[in-house]
Amino acid sequence: MTDSAAAPDPGPAAETGVSRRRLLGTAGAAGATGLVLGAAGGAAAWAGTRTDPAALTTVGSTAVPFHRGDGGRHQAGITDPQQAHGHLVAFDLAPGAGRREAAALMRRWSALAGELMAGRPAADGDTGIALDAGPSSLTVTFGFGRTFFDRTSLVTARPVQLDPLPAFSADALDTKRSEGDLWVQIGADDALVAFHALRALQKAAGEAARVRWQMTGFNRSPGATAKPMTARNLMGQVDGTGNPKPSEPDFAQRVFVPSSADPAWMAGGSYAVFRRIRMLLDDWEKLSLGEQEKVIGRRKSDGAPLTGGTETTEPDLDATGADGKPVVPANAHARISAPEQNGGAAMLRRPFSFHDGIAADGTPDAGLLFVCWQADPLRGFVPVQRKLDRGDALSPFIRHEASGLFAVPGAPAAGEYVGQRLLEG
Amino acid sequence: MTDSAAAPDPGPAAETGVSRRRLLGTAGAAGATGLVLGAAGGAAAWAGTRTDPAALTTVGSTAVPFHRGDGGRHQAGITDPQQAHGHLVAFDLAPGAGRREAAALMRRWSALAGELMAGRPAADGDTGIALDAGPSSLTVTFGFGRTFFDRTSLVTARPVQLDPLPAFSADALDTKRSEGDLWVQIGADDALVAFHALRALQKAAGEAARVRWQMTGFNRSPGATAKPMTARNLMGQVDGTGNPKPSEPDFAQRVFVPSSADPAWMAGGSYAVFRRIRMLLDDWEKLSLGEQEKVIGRRKSDGAPLTGGTETTEPDLDATGADGKPVVPANAHARISAPEQNGGAAMLRRPFSFHDGIAADGTPDAGLLFVCWQADPLRGFVPVQRKLDRGDALSPFIRHEASGLFAVPGAPAAGEYVGQRLLEG
């Protein structure tokens, strides 16, 4: 085990010699209108695509830089294209570990993430699991939970944005699989590369922190569709249409913390809301296609609103059918989650599907590891989820089983580690 | 739910218009020498490769034929290249269901598998989960367990090859996750395509059968390595070097049941041994690189024997070092599992890695969903596992947690269903 007091210097900036095509390719991301599955439910951002033949030849070789140079950019794994495999892991600091051990841990983890994201083995006893494979678009993203600040005597530096999320009536939260002092999001286009990173980060935690919970998810494989498509979730719905686009003028304002914000150490960062959203697939699949489409308010085949057009057409929420009733029902998910129904609330959703086999009751333990990113949860996740919580037709088919809220600082400059401005501020 | 008495005709042969490049590409498969992880342990066949840039453009569009035309060929999912995602599922016939219900079920499942493998939706209430994606090399393979023959009053047609496997001292088998009346192996290069097939097959089981156990696994993604490579397992070892090659003269004899065999309904079929092999990774990763290499008898970096050469060089089992001891230790995995040490026993290993999060004791619940294929388990899996069970240095780091043995008939001809010659014989 690595000694928790040891704090090796971070390696050279990982962007050296690294392809940035993935990162730069992000700008074309996501869709345009309003599906917010589960609200707080689903919606695979699947931002960007690697389904064009040229890009496919770089599935393994593509590397995402860890250090961003100017120190003001955001960490990897937020606007980067969604990968095919992911792990979400929460750690709690070990009894007796405080600010000093946390700083050493973040220094070790940052150095390690830089190496792994560049496709290099861990400096200290690499397991070899990722040997042969390229970096495969690996991203490692670090965040701090509310309890971290108590454990490290840094309560005065805690952002108000980490105040606990309100309770929702549909919540059935398992506290053991919720929250945590530290949070790590791992994504890669190869399952062994992702697993390798998970094991290496666990090992590097040493005696300083222990795993609180860990979950595994997936998205569509690069090349599985003939052309770029918005993702589908395990209910079979096109999911991610409504994600904000980096090209929109208020994208950065909605997703990232401005440099003028308080606390200053969060400049360039973002707040991540995580929800494990179980889909009650046995119930859902008993509905007819027409019933499912009324629940969502969109066609299953192509995600177009029931009022017509294509996936990116705005729904006509005032349209009525021959029976005088709204074509998009009053409680349809697409209506309730539409941005114009929520004061323009927006968040960047970037989830993974999950499938953990069969639950004790015989139903599939499957659904969405929902992750959304916003400058302020009270203007992103919370208002949308409140609205959905009161009247979404989708609610009977989903269950929020775990939750987390994490402060994700901006990217470290070369030579810095994630959270350094907090821990040494 | 589908009525279990209904038995729709199978659709047209799925190979119509389907690319056979994957199937034909199989001939170049696998490696040459003797690593048989777990013996019975590991070894990803990863037979063939799709890592060349041209092949990568067909990740989604590649289809594997379900019907093979002449009725004498083997089912898909045995010699086809290993996919990135897999599910193994065992079903038990429902109380009261017998031969008639089993025949109707196999007819429904065969028709469904043909549609799905061709990239078409299920005829009856498709969930939509795989919409947009191509067939993504989906294979669905069906087998019968020992208990199936009791349940269907077909005991006289049961092959002796389904006699229970012997007990091994390293077994810690969970009967609830072992065996089963029916077994389905699903593989695809897209996780949603694989999940879609799993759900569709479960739904098509209707009232005739219920899931006994289900497991999910993975292999390296197409394109993650720069060139074709033998797979690695979660211990980081090159794994699959010793797999028999289709180009070897006795390949078919070792893997497939000959047309002259008894019972006749198994002509062209194969016997699958399944083992859930847990890897005790926390213990394994405490070993130094040198210690790990002595356990295996091969270099971790490239899989070459400790006596030198490359991955495909035969180990020099007689070589001694300066200390007079064998370079490949007496209990090294590569020595004990070498074919020449086991009367030439050979099986085609085609496993998936698995990772089901963290077990109750805090260790990773990860390892290998070992699947091997042979004409006769008593000349394939059993002698190798017996040998390993007595003295393999790898044994302290693995645990066999579940087991299954299944008779997998040959491919159905167009218009036939899998097992028809058994169930209507």
- In angstroms, rounded to a whole number, what is the distance separating the alpha carbons of residues A271 and A408? 6
CATH architecture under which domain B53-225+247-277+408-423 falls: 2-Layer Sandwich (3.30)
Higher pLDDT, B246 or B351: B351
CB atoms A57 and B53 under 8 Å: yes
Q: Is the pLDDT of residue A192 over 90?
A: yes
Which of B84 and A242 is assigned the larger pLDDT?
Answer: B84
> Are A221 and B136 a contacting pair at CB < 8 A?
yes
For A162-179, what is each residue's pLDDT tens digit?
999 999 998 999 999 999
Q: Measured between alpha carbons, how far is residue B220 from residues A132, B190, B232, B303 in Å?
A: 10, 12, 8, 17
pLDDT at A343: 66
E strand or H helix at A348: strand A348-349
Identify the residue whose tokens are 């009791």. B150
> Would you say residue B265 has pLDDT above 70?
yes
Provide the terminal-to-terminal Cα distance of chain B, rounded to the nearest Å.
Answer: 29
C-alpha B257/C-alpha B264 separation (Å) is 9
For residue B114, pLDDT over 90 is answered with: yes
In eight-state DSSP terms, residue A32 is -
A279 or A3: which carries more pLDDT confidence? A279
Mean pLDDT of B223-249: 89
pLDDT reported for residue B25: 28
- Kindly indicate the confidence band of residue A186, based on its pLDDT and cuts at 50, 70 and 90: very high
pLDDT of residue B69: 56
pLDDT tens by residue, B268-318: 999 999 999 999 999 999 999 999 999 999 999 999 999 999 999 999 999
**pTM for this structure?**
0.88
SS3 content of chain A, % helix, strand, coil (to 5): 25, 20, 55
Q: Is pLDDT larger for residue B266 or for residue B73? A: B266
Options B80, B189, B190, B239, the catalytic residue: B239
Phi-psi region of A360 (alpha: psi -120 to 50; beta: other; left: phi over 0): alpha
- Is the four-CA dihedral A282, A286, A288, A291 of positive or negative sign? negative
Quick check: B303 and B35 in contact, CB under 8 A?
yes
Residue A52 has pLDDT above 90, yes or no: no
pLDDT of residue B338: 80
Q: Which amino acid is at B350?
A: R
Degrees (nearest 5) of the Cα angle A17, A424, A105?
Answer: 60
Give the pair of three-digit tokens for residue B318: 């007689």
DSSP character string of B180-213 = -SEEEEEEESSHHHHHHHHHHHHHHHTTTEEEEE
What is the pLDDT confidence band of residue A10, given thresholds at 50, 70 and 90? very low
CATH 3.30.70.1030 location in chain A: 42-229+246-273+408-423
For residue A53, give the chain B residue with the closest CA: B57
B413 or B152: which leads in pLDDT: B152
* Cβ–Cβ < 8 Å for B183, B140: no
Residue A144 pLDDT greater than 90, yes or no = yes
**Per-residue pLDDT tens digits for A54-89:** 677 789 999 999 987 554 589 999 999 999 999 999
Indicate the average pLDDT of chain B: 86
A356 and A234 in contact (C-beta within 8 Å)? no
pLDDT value of position A346: 81
When comparing pLDDT for B109 and B3, which is higher? Answer: B109
Amino acid B274: pLDDT: 98
pLDDT of B202 over the 70 cut:
yes
pLDDT in tens, A273-295: 999 999 999 999 999 999 999 99
- Which tokens sit at A279? 């889909």
Determine the residue type at A96: G
Residue B331 is predicted with a pLDDT of: 95
Task: Write down the pLDDT at residue A72.
Answer: 55
pLDDT score at A228? 79
Q: What is the DSSP string of A202-267?
A: HHHHTTTEEEEEEEEEE-PPTTSBSS----B-TTS-B--TT---TTSTTHHHHHS--TT-SSGGGT
- Residue B51 with chain A: CB contacts under 8 Å: 60
Interface confidence (ipTM) of the complex: 0.88
Q: Are B164 and B116 spatial neighbours (Cβ–Cβ below 8 Å)?
A: no
Mean local confidence (pLDDT), A154-159: 98
- Given a contact cutoff of 8 angstroms between Cβ atoms, the answer to whether A344 and A330 are in contact is no
The DSSP letter of residue B305 is B
Nearest CA-CA partner of A75 in A136, A19, A105, A117: A117
pLDDT band of residue A203 (cuts 50, 70, 90) is very high
Tell which of B19, B49, B132, B284 to mutate to test the A interface (max A CBs under 10 Å): B132
**Band of residue B73 on the pLDDT scale cut at 50, 70, 90:** confident
> Could you say which DSSP state residue B82 is in?
P
- The verdict on domain A42-229+246-273+408-423 having CATH code 3.30.70.1030 is yes
Q: How far is A337 from chain B (nearest CA, A)?
A: 22
Distance CA B338, CA B275 (A): 20
Q: Which of A181, A190, A239, A389 is catalytic?
A: A239
Q: Which long-range contacts (CB under 8 A, 24 or more apart) does B255-264 make?
A: B255/B78, B255/B79, B255/B347, B255/B348, B255/B373, B255/B374, B255/B375, B256/B74, B256/B375, B257/B375, B257/B410, B258/B375, B259/B72, B262/B159, B263/B157, B263/B158, B263/B159, B263/B422, B264/B421, B264/B425
Calculate mean pLDDT across residues A17-42. 28
pLDDT at B377 over 60: yes
Q: What does the pLDDT average to over A211-224?
A: 96
Burial B333-362 (b: 16+ CB within 10 A, else e): bbbbbbeebbeebbbbbbbbbbbbebeeee
Position of tokens 């086809």? Answer: B80
A387 vs A38: CA distance, rounded Å: 11
pLDDT of residue A43: 23
- Cβ contacts of B192 on chain A, cutoff 8 Å: 218, 220, 224, 232, 234, 353
Both structure tokens of B321: 């070092």
pLDDT digits (tens, 9 = 90+) for B399-422: 999 999 999 999 998 889 999 999
Q: Coil, strand or helix: which one is B328?
A: coil
A96 CB burial (10 A radius; 0-12, 13-18, 19+)? exposed
Reported as a single tens digit per residue, the pLDDT across B329-363 is 999 999 988 877 766 668 999 999 999 999 999 99
Q: Which two tokens stand for residue A112?
A: 């390690």
pLDDT value of position A41: 24
Residue pLDDT, tens place only, A370-380: 999 999 999 99
Residues of A in Cβ contact (< 8 Å) with B240:
none
Is A239 catalytic? The answer is yes
How far apart, in whole angstroms, are the C-alpha atoms of residue B67 and residue B114? 7
Q: Which residues pair with A218 in a beta bridge?
A: A85, A353
Please give, rounded to a whole number of angstroms, the shortest distance from the CA of A262 to a CA of chain B. 37
> Band of the pLDDT at B58, cuts 50, 70, 90?
confident
Is residue B255's pLDDT more than 60?
Answer: yes
Rounded distance between C-alpha atoms, residue B414 and residue B425, angstroms: 17
CA A203 – CA B364 distance, rounded (Å): 12
CB-based contact B216 A56, cutoff 8 Å: no
Which tokens go with A225?
A: 């569709």
Closest CA to B148 of B423, B347, B424: B423
Do A145 and A179 contact (CB within 8 A), yes or no? yes
Q: What whole-number percentage of chain B has pLDDT above 90? A: 71
Q: What spatial distance separates the first Cα and last Cα of chain A, rounded to whole Å?
A: 29
Q: What proportion of chain A, given as a percentage, has pLDDT over 70?
A: 85
Q: What are phi and psi of B420, to 5 degrees?
A: -60, -40
pLDDT of residue A351: 97
- Predicted pLDDT of residue B52: 58
Judging contacts by C-beta atoms under 8 Å, the chain B residues touching residue A221 are 59-60, 84-85, 136, 189-191, 221-222
Buried b (16+ CB within 10 A) or exposed e, B176-190: ebbbbbbbbbbbbbb
Q: Supply A67's token pair.
A: 């250090």
